[in-house]
Amino acid sequence: MRQLILDTETTGLNAKTGDRIIEIGCVELINRRLTGNNLHLYVNPERDSDPGALAVHGLTTEFLSDKPKFGEIAAQLRDFIAGAELIIHNAPFDVAFLDVEFGMLGLPKVAESCADVIDSLAQAKQMFPGKRNSLDALCDRFGISNAHRTLHGALLDSELLAEVYLAMTRGQESLVIDMLGDQPTEDAVATARVALDDLDLPVIVANGDELAAHEAVLSDLDKAIKGTSVWRKEETQAADDAVAA
């Protein structure tokens, strides 16, 4: 699965009133692993940034004056995001800006180029209701160093968000293979089923180092959610069931 962590910097807060994109950063993940195949673009917005926005990103009109205009990088950006799942913190903001930029060029919206858009801010609000869920707050919560983030930058923020997203979604991958599979569909090809009762499967007990590593992972999860992870609850329930038996 190809995923892109995407972030933009803009001249202001409202694409509909003339604010423009000035920087785009994309970090590529394939099967939840960073590939290093990233995209980083500066864009000449042909206007000044609002003072408040300039204080956030620090990208001056002079610095951006010799950079390509959005129309010159649009094809490169669309090719890069094509078919990927986009992960964006506060996705409606960035997508709105991209859609306006593409619209001015007569190009389709973001949703028509990528596979899906995931809003990591919405996910964080579900995981940590009532708490601050800015990128800085999430970095602090998951123990991710952002000491080098003195100003916002699209590529830097994408790199930090990639670490945050991986930490937030750790454990989503299934640890169990369904050997029996789903019910066959009309067009399914018949395959031989495995007779599990005939298998003599060895039981390999974890050694001390592996148990210690497992305990460290559980402790990290507890720290991240500031509570007790579901895995510890499962362990407690299993122990209670063993006593009851």
- The predicted structure's pLDDT at residue 19: 97
Which candidate in 40, 57, 152, 214 is catalytic? 152
Specify whether 89 is catalytic.
no
Regarding beta strands 116-119 and 39-42, do their DSSP bridges make them parallel or antiparallel, or are they unpaired? unpaired
Sign of the dihedral through C-alpha 25, 30, 32, 37: negative
Tens digits of per-residue pLDDT, 182-192? 444 444 444 44
Contact 81, 102 (CB under 8 A): no
What's the pLDDT score for residue 227?
76
Residue 119 phi, psi (nearest 5): -95, 105
**Cα distance between residue 84 and residue 73, in whole Å:** 18
Average pLDDT score, the chain:
85
Q: Over 70: is that where the pLDDT of 175 sits? A: no
Please determine, for residue 154, whether its predicted confidence score (pLDDT) is greater than 50: yes
With H, G, I as helix, E, B as strand and everything else as coil, classify residue 128. coil
Rounded mean pLDDT of 189-212?
A: 65
Distance CA 159, CA 223 (A): 22
pTM of the model: 0.69
Superfamily of domain 2-168 in CATH is Ribonuclease H-like superfamily/Ribonuclease H (3.30.420.10)
Strand, coil or helix: 46: coil
β-pair type (21-30, 2-10): antiparallel
List of residues 6+ apart from 232 with CB closer than 8 A:
218, 222
Query: Is the pLDDT confidence value at 239 over 90?
Result: no
Write the burial class of residue 75 (CB in 10 Å: 0-12 exposed, 13-18 middle, 19+ buried).
exposed
pLDDT at 133 over 70: yes
Residue extents of the structural domains in the chain: 2-168, 196-244
pLDDT in tens, 30-89: 999 999 999 999 999 999 999 999 999 999 999 999 999 999 999 999 999 999 999 999
pLDDT of residue 171: 63
Computed on alpha carbons and rounded to an integer, the radius of gyration of the chain in Å comes to 23
| Of 231 and 43, more confident | 43
- Of the listed ranges 2-6, 172-176, 236-240, the least confidently predicted one is 172-176
Nearest to 135, CA basis, from 225, 144, 178:
144
Q: What pLDDT does residue 213 have?
A: 82
Q: List residues bridging with 118 in a β-sheet.
A: 87
